[in-house]
Amino acid sequence: MNTRTRDRILKAAEELFAEKGFDGVSVREITDRAGSNVASVHYYFGNKKGLYLAVFRERMAQRAKKVQELFWKEIGDDPTPSAEKIIKTLARAFLKSPFSKKERMLHHKLMAREANRPTEAYSIFHKEVIAPFYNALIELLSPYLPEGLSRQDRVLYVLSIIAQVMHFNLARSMISHITGQPYTDRFIDRLVNHITRFSLYGINYRADR
């Protein structure tokens, strides 16, 4: 198995799928960017759908786990982190993860695609990666949430935070139009601070109560 060719195809496929969607990209476009033959997709992945599934299994899951690792590493040493630390770390893990801006972007794009219209690729990904992370976040945030909420109510708070991260990433073009700001590092820093502040107040936790 020549993993180099296979990896080049995976990389090109991930980029193009995120950018244009499954139907927006042709196999030839992928193999051209990867510098391989059209037939190589069949050779390594069976068919186009198999390639899409592989992108999810081997690239998305990996990346999501890395984001989570980063989150836990920053939280890690603190047994009972403050609400501010949890939220800021969460926003940063998503918006300033250890990937290039391009990589982070395409990760979120594919996530959004699947959260909306899940393919077969998603169910395992959800069970193994998404769900455990959400559950852990709920545990972590619970002490700071209004009392007496059901689990279903508490998860909404986590979703409100994630919602902002996702939207500020995915609606970049519109947001740049409306704010007049390009997505520079400085602007992203400002977004992280805004999301943190908004969400911290959003959960309505006050240390002085």
Give the interface with a copy of itself as residue ranges (CB under 8 A): 19-24, 109, 112, 114-118, 126, 130-131, 134, 152-153, 155-157, 159-160, 162-164, 166-168, 170-175, 177-181, 190-191, 194-195, 197-199, 201-204
Minimum CB distance to DNA smaller for 49 or for 102: 49
Nearest to 70 by CA among 50, 83, 88, 52: 88
11 interacts with, out of DNA, a copy of itself, none, CB within 5 to 8 A per kind: none
117 interacts with, out of a copy of itself, DNA, none, CB within 5 to 8 A per kind: a copy of itself
179 interacts with, out of DNA, a copy of itself, none, CB within 5 to 8 A per kind: a copy of itself
Contact 56, 130 (CB under 8 A): no
Which CB contacts under 8 angstroms, 24+ apart, belong to 136-141? 137/86, 137/90, 140/75, 140/81, 140/86, 141/83, 141/86, 141/203
Minimum CB distance to a copy of itself, residue 129 (Å): 12
